[in-house]
Structure 1
Amino acid sequence: MGPLCIADGEHAVVLQPSKPTSLLATLLIHSGRVISADYLLHKVWDTEPPATARAALQSCVLRLRRLFAKCRIAHDTIESVPGGYRMRMDARTLDLTRFRELVRSAELATDHATETRLLRQALSLWQGPPLSNVSSQTLHRDEVPRLTEERLSALERLCDIELEQDRCRHALTEVWEAACQHPERERFSEQLIEALYRTGRQTEALVEFEAVRERLKEQFGVDPGAPLQRLHLAILRGENVNAPPTPCFVARLSPLSSPRAPKRSLSPPHLAAEPRHRAFPFCARQFIPARPVRA
């Protein structure tokens, strides 16, 4: 995803930071659910809302509906319900929903090739830091970390598959930037060091371990975790660290999966079709409401 924008075919409108933009972001993140006016006020105003906030909220909704009309988006995409509002979106029109369905489909895949393809499709929807043009600090505090975790978990799994399938050079290209940008996630550093070692770059792997150890000590005051230390020792000994293949039918729960609800199989062909009108709550490409617009 990336900046919040509305796309109509090849044309995308990146929204400016404003209260309507914060409102739209909140509704998109909770697409399909009724969101109370009190909750929206808290997210949009950050601090204690003024006495006129409820009227201002209605004005924000009106402004969004006018914007939708210019983009030929159905007027009832933002649905007024008793006590609040609901955004009507699905995987055809909202990148966040599409991303999550692709990840769920990847979890249900029975072979690594399909899982890899679906994860790559899901990750390709991300175009930068989420909600980068949204001014609400409450959303950045409460929602952005969760959204970022979803992307990083999918990327971790993709790199695990590459290592399991002995595609270490592919893993290097995937994980190098992630390890630098997210030093707090030792799994990325572990994947990077393993990929370096298994591609014959033992010295670079050891140098990277030392860099990770110094960074963790300086930034977080901790030593590398046990898995990373075991990998370091194995490299020093020149041992074979090839990851054992993971059975295709191992169950994996994403942050969005519910242990109570049965997973619903989603057909990749159903997800492949791109609609004409899309909306993305943080993607420098696209984002839009639930119902496709008919020309």
Structure 2
Amino acid sequence: MVKCAFCSIVHGIRTKKIGRGRMTSADAHRTGRTGRQTRFTVLGMLGVADGRESAVLQPSRPAALLAALLLHANSVVSAETLQRVIWGEDTPAQAKSALHSCVLRLRRLFAKYGISENAIEAVPGGYRITADAETLDLVEFRELLSRAYAEKAPESELALLRTALDLWHPPLLANVPSDLLHRDEVPRLHEEWLRAIERVFDLELAAGRHRQAVAEILQTARAHPLHERFTEQLMEALHRAGRRAEALAEYRKTKEHLAHHLGVDPGPSLQRLELAILRGDAETAAPTSSSDTPQVSRHAAKAGPASVGPPAAPARPSTRARPTPAPPAANGPAPAPGSPPPRPAGGDLPPAAPAAPSAEAPPADPGDQAPISGARVLDRLVGAGLLEEGPRGHYRIHELLRAFARAAAAEGVGARTGGRTPHPPSRPGAAELHPTEA
């Protein structure tokens, strides 16, 4: 019973007098004869403490009433809301008198153990309880968050957020028998906690403490597998700590979990982060220390995940030296109008004249670049995570590479390559590239 819970906490505390008047509602449950402060808690089990001892209230209707008033401290809670909190949809026929009786029980309990009877105020339309940061943990929690979000210094903001989160002791209100509070009020409190812990992780990562933050982010991400933001922060922390493979493994776990439980894919932000880690985008996540990690620039990323290798230079006319065409022989026949110029001895075609002064210079011919062996291309694809080597020389193609191949085929890559059909690179022991059998 609630009475038993209060007995061990506020026994002997009497009402404090202010002059000739009684205690105000805000002072009603602060200090008693012992000088210890009375404080209620809702960021965990509903309880009360006097600065030295604390106790958890037993599940009861007065406990549900007290929890509803404390969750809306300093505000009027309507009688209709309190009735739904206590009895749900099955309110008694005399709900108003039953609520008044429940309030009287709580007031008598307060008065008997040193808390003023007017701690619960009757106001037009309902009831109200007044509290501040010293008498209610929820008020202190919100004040600390407000100060933290207004703080400009990152370390000061982080310290305030940590202090606020130290007040959190889940599960919330597990000893309060009210479906309405657990359906509406507890999720709202949880959202405030989510915002605060997300900010804490952002500040830790921004300060460069990637390795130190991994353990805490991992624990939080495991407890909230459907909250994709925690997975993003975990992947970023792992990758910046040089654990790229583990970061990509976290993405696969989250993707499988979302597909199994919700039938959806990860959100765009999480997909972009995975792609950034695959291509080693330094602006999104710090690349690993390995010099063999392929890099892709933002310009090359537009071409799809298959564009691995060094960052592509901006399109400009090739600066490679080309042999100048030899002038036609004086006594030779003149070329016919519209026919190509004679091929020089070097074998390369001379640069074509621009069609118009405002025409944009064509991109460099792929043939101008040094040829790359098929085995090297294959190694880069495997290193970028776009191909996964399987048994018997077979490979599993990443879905991003598969999507790029389909998009390239739909856009007519063959026409842009002069009608040539690209073939997968050859490698000893790998005759073809295709997914391995499951």
Q: Any conservation in 2 of the 1:90–1:98 contact (CA below 8 Å)?
A: yes
> Separation in 2 of the partners of 1:173 and 1:7?
33
The AA in structure 1 aligned to 2:126 is G
Where in structure 1 are there 5+ consecutive unaligned residues?
245-295
Q: Any conservation in 2 of the 1:77–1:89 contact (CA below 8 Å)?
A: no
Larger radius of gyration: 2
Tell me which residue corresponds to 1:95.
137
Q: In the alignment, which of 236, 245, 258 is matched to residue 194 of structure 1?
A: 236
The AA in structure 2 aligned to 1:140 is H
Tell me which residue corresponds to 1:42.
84
Q: In the alignment, which of 174, 188, 213 is matched to residue 146 of structure 1?
A: 188
State the shift of 1:48 in Å: 3.1
Q: Any conservation in 2 of the 1:198–1:242 contact (CA below 8 Å)?
A: no
Where in structure 2 are there 5+ consecutive unaligned residues?
1-42, 287-438
Tell me which residue corresponds to 1:8.
50
Tell me which residue corresponds to 1:53.
95
Residue pairs, 1:129-278, within 5 angstroms: 129-241=171-283
Deviation by residue 1:190-249 (Cα, 9 ceiling, x = unmatched): 0011111111111211111110110111111111111111111121223325579xxxxx
The AA in structure 2 aligned to 1:163 is L
SS in 2 for 1:143: helix
What TM-score, normalized to structure 1?
A: 0.78
Q: Any conservation in 2 of the 1:176–1:192 contact (CA below 8 Å)?
A: yes
The AA in structure 2 aligned to 1:167 is R
SS in 2 for 1:171: helix
Q: Any conservation in 1 of the 2:236–2:247 contact (CA below 8 Å)?
A: yes
Structure of higher RCO (CA pairs closer than 8 Å, 6+ residues apart) = 1
What TM-score, normalized to structure 2?
A: 0.54
| 1:243–1:90 distance in 2 versus 1, CA, 3 Å | farther
> Separation in 2 of the partners of 1:72 and 1:125?
25
Indicate the structure with greater helix content: 1
| 1:231–1:71 distance in 2 versus 1, CA, 3 Å | farther
Q: Any conservation in 1 of the 2:74–2:128 contact (CA below 8 Å)?
A: yes
Q: In the alignment, which of 60, 84, 102 is matched to residue 126 of structure 2?
A: 84
Deviation by residue 1:103-157 (Cα, 9 ceiling, x = unmatched): 0100110100110011001111001121111111011111111110010110001
The AA in structure 2 aligned to 1:126 is W
Tell me which residue corresponds to 1:28.
70
Tell me which residue corresponds to 1:248.
none
The AA in structure 2 aligned to 1:108 is A
State the shift of 1:34 in Å: 1.2
Deviation by residue 1:36-67 (Cα, 9 ceiling, x = unmatched): 21111012111131113222222222222233
Q: Alignment identity in percent?
A: 54
SS in 1 for 2:176: coil
SS in 2 for 1:39: helix
> Separation in 2 of the partners of 1:66 and 1:181?
41
